[in-house]
Amino acid sequence: MILLVFDFDHTVVDGNTDVKILDVLGNKKNGIKYDHSTGWTEHMRQIFVGCEKQGVTQADMISVLKELEMTEGMETLFQRIKEFKDKIKVVIASDSNSWFIDVLLSHFSIEDLVDEVHTNPADWNGNLLALKRYTTNEKCSRCPINMCKSEIVLNSLTDDISHVIYVGDGSNDLCPVLNLQEKDIACPREGYGLSKKLDTIDVNCSVVRWSNAVLIVDHLNYYLNVQ
């Protein structure tokens, strides 16, 4: 069994869902600034309060989110996953939110291929998209306060997992990559933060950089022992 872990923004989708959703506010962003002391999740919670005040609806948000496309080659990768789903466990570990991810997994018709989604919970309370932290991270100094992706990977492992393939792009994907073993593969997206960090850091696992996710299919095939 292969554990295939994906980040979501700039990895499964070719864009950032949190940034994209600002399009629904147009020129009415209410001057909300990101405060590093409270973290990104609290920033987005304030954004959603601003959306409610401006009369933004679920339909408005869905319309904007559906403008995002899968990254190049990702559809092919998920097709391969579908063909060998009994041998692959798929996990998403993302600092986006559950509602955004559910909307897009359904839009791309891949929701049935994903076994677990670990992200910040979000649900509609009237006209407000209410957002909570995934957890409170008090142990890992490398990761943000709401999430340690190493912990997610560790908790997703089962006795029948032979290899881990981790696919991501950002700096918050570094922690799990540092904990991968020699038999595993890290797949950082070319030109993004994780790939740049791995230029200067030695890791135990293999590193396969990609700009087209079809490249990941080749390595998945190797672990699956198929052509």
Catalytic residues: 7, 9
Q: Which residue has the tokens 């992706």?
A: 149
Structure tokens at 37: 């002391």
R_g of the chain, CA atoms, integer Å: 18
Give helix then strand counts, H and E, for the chain: 9, 8
Q: State how far the Cα of 218 lies from the Cα of 21, in Å rounded to an integer.
A: 34
In the DSSP assignment, the letter for residue 9 is B
* Angstrom distances, CA of residue 53 to CA of 45, 57, 127: 13, 10, 9
Nearest CA-CA partner of 51 in 120, 125, 109, 103: 125
